Amino acid sequence: MSIAGRIGYWLAAVALVAAILASLDYSPAQAVLVGLIFCPCALVLEYLMPKARKPMDKVYLSLAVLVSVILVILILHHSVWVTLTREGYSRPEKEVAPMLVNPAFLGLILTALAIGDYFWSKWFTARFKAKGRTVTFFSERKSVTLPVDEIAYVESNDTEVRIVTRSGESFRNKTGISQWENLLGDGFLRIHRSYLVHVSLAAPSTPDTVLVAGKELPVSRKYKEAVKAALQEG
């Protein structure tokens, strides 16, 4: 995911949290400052939670993040506001809003930000990562270079594969479909032992097929749940 896309998400997230705080009678400076606290804490949850394999480890991590947020908020209210007030950037010192020391409210905000960033990253990557990239391969003994984003799907026929573009143009190649899966990377999804598709071009057709570039392709039982999840996110 590009840095610009990530920054855009977190700026929007801070603005949303600041808007919630503004409704609690915080000044714009106070609301933004408190809103910024949630960003690193949500990122900690997003990146460390999947690595915590034991249920109790997840509980300890959640408690640690919540306690950290509450401590920073308390310090902010009872120390930083004094300095901001002297400099004219803040209203007089404000009591902590009860919601900001409520673990349930804090947990909801942090979880929403972390999950939002996760799905935004997946969507952004699937839609834009392929743009601008090209792939070069041999077809009929000739070198072919295609923009990755122009590839609709790859079909395996045991001894060779066909690379089919958005426009329906087809190229034959001897590289295995698993190698194509690694080569194309994010934005492409295996739906069958014989098919690899561009996620943004795929649409559900029947419970066992998807429509890609005007062609109905089969979805095997092995990949059905992954395909369903990917198309729902898209």
Q: Where are the domain boundaries for CATH 2.40.50.1020 in the chain?
A: 134-233
Please tell me the number of Cα atoms within 13 Å of 130 on its side-chain side.
24
The residue ranges of DSSP E strands in the chain, in sequence order, are: 134-139, 142-147, 151-156, 161-165, 170-173, 188-192, 195-198, 202-206, 209-212, 215-218
* 65 within 8 A of 43, measured Cβ to Cβ: no
User: What average pLDDT does range 136-165 have in this prediction?
Assistant: 92
Per-residue pLDDT tens over the stretch 39-61: 888 888 888 887 777 889 889 99
* 174 within 8 A of 160, measured Cβ to Cβ: yes
* 227 within 8 A of 220, measured Cβ to Cβ: no
Per-residue pLDDT tens over the stretch 172-186: 999 999 999 988 887
> Cβ contacts of residue 144 below 8 Å, gap of 6+?
136, 137, 138, 171
Report the C-alpha gap between 226 and 28 in whole angstroms.
43
* 194 within 8 A of 156, measured Cβ to Cβ: yes
> Cβ contacts of residue 49 below 8 Å, gap of 6+?
58, 61, 62, 114
User: What average pLDDT does range 139-162 have in this prediction?
Assistant: 92
* pLDDT value, residue 43: 86
CATH 3.90.1150.10 assigned to 134-233: no
* pLDDT value, residue 2: 57
The DSSP bridge partners found for residue 147 are: 134
User: What average pLDDT does range 18-35 have in this prediction?
Assistant: 84
Residue 205 CA, chain-centre distance (Å), reads 25
* pLDDT value, residue 49: 83
Per-residue pLDDT tens over the stretch 185-199: 878 999 999 999 999
* pLDDT value, residue 82: 57
* 185 within 8 A of 131, measured Cβ to Cβ: no
